[in-house]
Structure 1
């Protein structure tokens, strides 16, 4: 059974996330993963059963270390990139575009846009992905992202639901 919950990131971040589709078994989240020495865009179900508190469904998503907020100027093109560490990312403002250099055509499983309020996980370390992913921030305003590196660089337990980013139907 699918359920739709709105949940808040910790109050210290002051960021309210929009609707996120979940299952009773865990949180669905878009991921930059790896397979066969290449980066992938996938929809994952994190094996993190929710617990109730303060009227919310709360999902344990791991332990973090050295978290930070980055502010990227408008229309910044980063190009080829890898996750320096396994990390959860929350877009607080602006727009991010992630594309896969290993896919010759633009499709929903080779390119994705992420807007303010969306979360994703990046796990494509350079040791696991030959070409990484392409990142740019095409918005006309600053893009602000909060990044939460996972302690020990551990990829959380998950199930791949499908190729491409998660959608409202997941």
Structure 2
């Protein structure tokens, strides 16, 4: 009902309403090799009617299986590895340098508001995996959210390579 009311108000005011979507840098696999892609989740943000956050923009990420909070020491090198499961990874603080062992692609992810990525390059779709390095002088904090039943969120691939900052802004 709140969404209908907002659309009607925009119509009366002559303001165009455009749905906003989340774009995520994604580590995925193609031809048994890890690649970086920019994904746009298929579900748009919605105006919440939940008490305490009514009127704010929300996005349901789908079924999640668990959550893990990790403290990564400064200048840590995780080496070559695959994503253990299909999961959202939110870099809460710090900085991560993600690279591919058999390609030139890389992504620098700064913790905070735009620090959410999706990791999908599990062993079943990528034989090589990716490298994660944490070059900062402070700890990097991550929270990982595996997706329920290993099912990726509905999405569209916007392009090869990581999302740009301008593609991630606006929400």
TM-score normalised to structure 2 length: 0.79
Which of the residues 12, 18, 24 maps onto 2:19? 24
Which of the residues 136, 139, 146 maps onto 2:143? 146
Aligned residues: 143
Q: More strand by proportion, 1 or 2?
A: 1
How many angstroms does 1:25 deviate by? 6.0
CA distance in 1, matches of 2:31, 2:75: 32
Which of the residues 156, 159, 163 maps onto 1:162? 159
How many angstroms does 1:112 deviate by? 0.8
- Bigger Rg, which one: 2
Q: Mark the runs of 5 or more structure 2 residues left unpaired by the alignment.
A: 1-17, 49-53
- Which structure 2 residues correspond to residues 119-130 of structure 1 after superposition, within 5 A? 119-130=116-127
Q: More helix by proportion, 1 or 2?
A: 2
Q: Mark the runs of 5 or more structure 1 residues left unpaired by the alignment.
A: 1-22
Q: Note the aligned Cα RMSD (angstroms).
A: 1.3
CA distance in 2, matches of 1:68, 1:136: 19
Structure-1 residue corresponding to 2:9: none
Which of the residues 38, 51, 54 maps onto 2:33? 38
Any runs of at least 4 consecutive aligned residues in structure 1 with deviations exceeding 4 A, and if so which?
none
